[in-house]
Amino acid sequence: MKKLIYLAYYLLKTDYATLKSALNCTARKSKKSKFSLLLDMTKSSILYGSSFVDYFNFQFYTKGKEQRQAYATMGHMYQFHKKMNDANKAHLLDDKNEFALHYSQFCNTPIIFKKNKAGQEEFIKALEKQEGEKIVFKDPGSTAGRGVYIDTLYKKEGKLVINDQNIKGFISTFFKQSELLYFEKYLEQNKAIQAISPTALNTIRVITLVKDDHSVDIIGAIFRISVNSKLDNFSKGNIAAEVDIKSGEVITGGIIKNSSCGEYYDRHPITEEQIKGFKIPMWDTVVKTVKEAALINPEIRTVGWDVAILEDDVKLIEGNSKWNKDTWQIPAGYGKKKIIQKYL
């Protein structure tokens, strides 16, 4: 019954433009008819709980029954997160303002004001001091790279401007749905990572799980790499590569989320710097940081942390209580459901 409910949900919520693109390129690549792919996609949704887009992103059309069963699909992850994480605590991670308060020892210090007249005036005064600097604006309630804008502040005819828009106009537009005004200074990443992709702050997604004895396991690590973008989010068309948990070495090439239409890049497609085989700097510090952070609110048992690696330090950018199954499994090229089943 649950699988039929999920099927109905997928019918309503699928991004059909993305689905059409995946279907077209998969038909060309696999030499299979679109009808047979759609039929198999629907059967997989019923049998394995996979969304329509899961079918193509996980390349189910190349996989047999056992391989498909090995994937943690959308339906499975819904149940997993529901069981693992206290819904009454999740906002401490997912809301950027709450995150900054509760995890301040690990993250970049944000500037936050209420969106009233006095707060806006103070916010603009704080921004005046950042003229010429690259700034990260965030909508505190946003997720998955939405509600994040990065640019350099400058003055035009004596007035503070960003993206050729006066700062008051920008605030009114960007924070339209928010009750808070929020910015951070841009972090300068490690030089070795900068060489691979200089257009964004490229983070490591590290997934932790707090066990019953309050020890912390790391169950996944992924290098998120921007491709000519100001953000590194996997859902924004960038690439991601699997990282070995023990060594911190990147063990796959980078691949896009819509992997049915993509390929692995052992080297960055623009800078041509090596991805596969790259050793993540300060890996021991990354591991230590996320394990300590995971115990701040152990009722949120599983978290996907986005970790920035600086020249001599690491910082948490954010934590996600409903971390994405795609980033975890697509770069690896195989299903990881058995990894989380033992915790259920």
21-35, 222-236, 241-255: least confident range? 222-236
Span 6-23, pLDDT tens digits: 677 777 778 888 889 999
- Higher per-residue pLDDT: 161 or 288: 288
Q: By percentage, how much of the chain surpasses pLDDT 90?
A: 58
331 exposed, middle or buried (CB, 10 Å; 0-12, 13-18, 19+)?
buried
Bridge partners (DSSP) of residue 149 are: 137
State the Cα–Cα distance between residues 240 and 218, nearest whole angstrom: 18
Residue partners of 112: CB distance under 8 A and separation at least 6: 97, 100, 140, 180, 181, 182
DSSP code at position 324: -
* Phi, psi angles (nearest 5°) of residue 66: -65, -40
Of the ranges 89-103, 113-127, 222-236, 237-251, the best mean pLDDT one: 237-251
Q: Are 120 and 181 in contact (CB under 8 A)?
A: yes
Buried b (16+ CB within 10 A) or exposed e, 12-28: eeeeeebbeebbeebbe
Bridge partners (DSSP) of residue 139 are: none
Of the ranges 89-98, 242-251, 318-327, the best mean pLDDT one: 242-251
Summarize the confidence of residues 209-218 as an average pLDDT: 96
State the Cα–Cα distance between residues 36 and 49, nearest whole angstrom: 19
Residue partners of 167: CB distance under 8 A and separation at least 6: 124, 127, 153, 159, 160, 161
Span 108-125, pLDDT tens digits: 878 888 888 888 888 888
pLDDT of residue 63: 96
Closest CA to 319 of 58, 62, 98, 27: 98
27-41, 92-106, 148-162: least confident range? 148-162
Q: CA-CA distances (angstroms) from residue 294 to 36, 119, 162, 327?
A: 45, 32, 36, 20
State the Cα–Cα distance between residues 203 and 315, nearest whole angstrom: 10
State the Cα–Cα distance between residues 311 and 195, nearest whole angstrom: 13
3-state SS assignment for residue 61: helix
Q: By percentage, how much of the chain surpasses pLDDT 70?
A: 96
Closest CA to 151 of 129, 184, 110, 111: 184
State the Cα–Cα distance between residues 73 and 57, nearest whole angstrom: 11
Q: What pTM was estimated for this model as a whole?
A: 0.88
Summarize the confidence of residues 251-278 as an average pLDDT: 95
Q: CA-CA distances (angstroms) from residue 256 to 108, 118, 253?
A: 28, 44, 10
Chain mean pLDDT for the chain: 89
Sheet of strand 302-309: strand arrangement: 255-256, 239-242, 216-225, 204-210, 302-309, 314-320
pLDDT of residue 208: 98
**CA neighbours closer than 13 Å in the CB half-sphere of residue 9:** 15
- Higher per-residue pLDDT: 176 or 93: 93
Domains of the chain: 2-69 (no CATH), 85-106+189-341 (3.30.470.20), 111-185 (no CATH)
Span 38-48, pLDDT tens digits: 999 999 988 99
- Higher per-residue pLDDT: 310 or 2: 310
pLDDT of residue 111: 82
Q: Are 294 and 303 in contact (CB under 8 A)?
A: yes
Judged against a pLDDT cut of 70, whether residue 4 lies above it is answered with no
Pairing verdict, β 239-242 and 255-256: antiparallel
State the Cα–Cα distance between residues 15 and 287, nearest whole angstrom: 36
Judged against a pLDDT cut of 70, whether residue 179 lies above it is answered with yes
Closest CA to 6 of 54, 38, 60, 39: 54
Predicted confidence band of residue 138 (pLDDT cuts 50, 70, 90): confident
Q: Are 333 and 60 in contact (CB under 8 A)?
A: no
pLDDT of residue 149: 82
